[in-house]
Structure 1
Amino acid sequence: MAEHHSGPAETGAPMDYAEHEKTYNFFIGAAKLGTIFCVALLIAMAAGFFSSVGFFGATLLFIILNIAGFMLLR
């Protein structure tokens, strides 16, 4: 039926902690940029739909907000 092991759960190769940290830092950076992108998109959509800036003004606002968010994360 089922095998019962009394040793450690991981008996494979040792962890590559440097690669793990690199992957984790990439994921955190991508999550931050994705959040900035979504927030900028929502703000630009609200400005385009509920004010008189129109499509081109909302697009310009979207680009400006993305640049500002990217600069704040540096």
Structure 2
Amino acid sequence: MSDVRHVLVLPDRDAAEEVARELAERFGVGEEPQILRDALAGEDDAEDAQWLVVLADADGRLDPAALDEFAAEYEGWREEP
């Protein structure tokens, strides 16, 4: 099985941390998601960073549409691989 990863893009660190916690409850994610800061190209201001929640889905059991809706609840989105 291929190593599938989902990347959720969130507007701030608080949203990213809340999404990472909520993934276990709502989607039964066992592995701790990775939270990364992604500075926007050409931006020096730390406030202009996006936060990424990277989620391994080796079994391919997570529904991309459900993850899209989930991220949208936090004013974010799911990046297409």
Q: TM-score, normalised by structure 2?
A: 0.29
Instruction: Determine which structure has more spread, i.e. the larger CA radius of gyration.
Output: 1
Q: Normalized per residue, which structure has more helix?
A: 1
Higher relative contact order (CA 8 A, sep 6+): 2
Q: TM-score, normalised by structure 1?
A: 0.31
